[in-house]
Amino acid sequence: MAIINFGGVDENVVTLEEFPLEKAREVLKNETIAVIGYGVQGPGQSLNLRDNGFNVIVGQRKGGKTWDKAVADGWVPGETLFEIEEACQRGTIIQYLLSDAAQIEVWPRIKQYLTPGKALYFSHGFGITYKERTGIIPPADIDVIMVAPKGSGTSLRRMFLQGRGLNSSYAIFQDATGRAKDRVIALGIGVGSGYLFETTFKREVYSDLTGERGTLMGAIQGLLLAQYETLREHGHTPSEAFNETVEELTQSLMPLFAEKGMDWMYANCSTTAQRGALDWMGPFHDATKPVFEKLYNEVACGNEAQRSIDTNSKPNYREGLEKELAALRESEMWRAGAVVRKLRPENN
């Protein structure tokens, strides 16, 4: 483990240099990794582990679309693809990668297979942090660990195939075997992490829920829509409004500040753009900081988790979700975006 200074603050991180893939394989050479769930994180993590030479099986409900997807990805029924209960029985490390709602539903069926010495692995701190609400309370004689890639399973897989790594956090909630740290670091390397930084289950879920509802998804959509609407209401065309709001951000500016930071992106824009950005970042900060404080407090007190549990457990949840996503997709801004994407040179 290395101590790296991030902006004046020291943090513990693990890199491939100090914990190479060969070491990870050695740590897990006698383990069977059972990946439960083949939705958001399951495919990327399981395929990366398999390609990296680990002993991996997948547990998924037979007969569904995700079972068929697993078969299409090369998992063989009866050999590397099993019903959830059988995979849990066979695995020494159970990667519990179902959705938060599905974790609550399936927990009574799988906890009997968490026998002494096994490891229960999460990629989100939700189920454990809010265990009084979820009912997910592991036995005391197993390891409980987490590797949380900082992105979707799709991004994790794409970056792996490009020879890159997606940064991940890791945490140990329970070390019953004395091997929890080696196990979690080896798994983090195995799933394709760029580097691993230390956290706790609680810190992970607080930051994750805040980030998803904030700049990663909720806030960014709200800000984009507000600017798009303002431009349209003042007579700008859909194409102009979308290009100035979304296309320039994602295709031109985000790659620049991802590469070397916001100041470098500013330096590669006009002096007029620089001046305006520096002048207006303060008002935007002041306007949104109270919203972020309210959001964080709602996460910390458990209200946001309870809303998710209550909503996601409704029988018609999927139907309602599809209607909301369809409304987003069919809004003028994103219909304009679909046209703009088709007009990109790489699509012609």
Strand partners, 5: 10
Contact 71, 81 (CB under 8 A): yes
Separation between Cα atoms, residue 58 and residue 62, nearest integer Å: 11
Which of 124, 234, 236, 285 is catalytic? The answer is: 124
Task: Tell me whether residue 124 is one of the annotated catalytic residues.
Answer: yes
Q: Which residues does 105 contact at the CB level (< 8 Å), separation at least 6?
A: 313
3 state SS of 230: helix
Which residues are tagged catalytic? 124
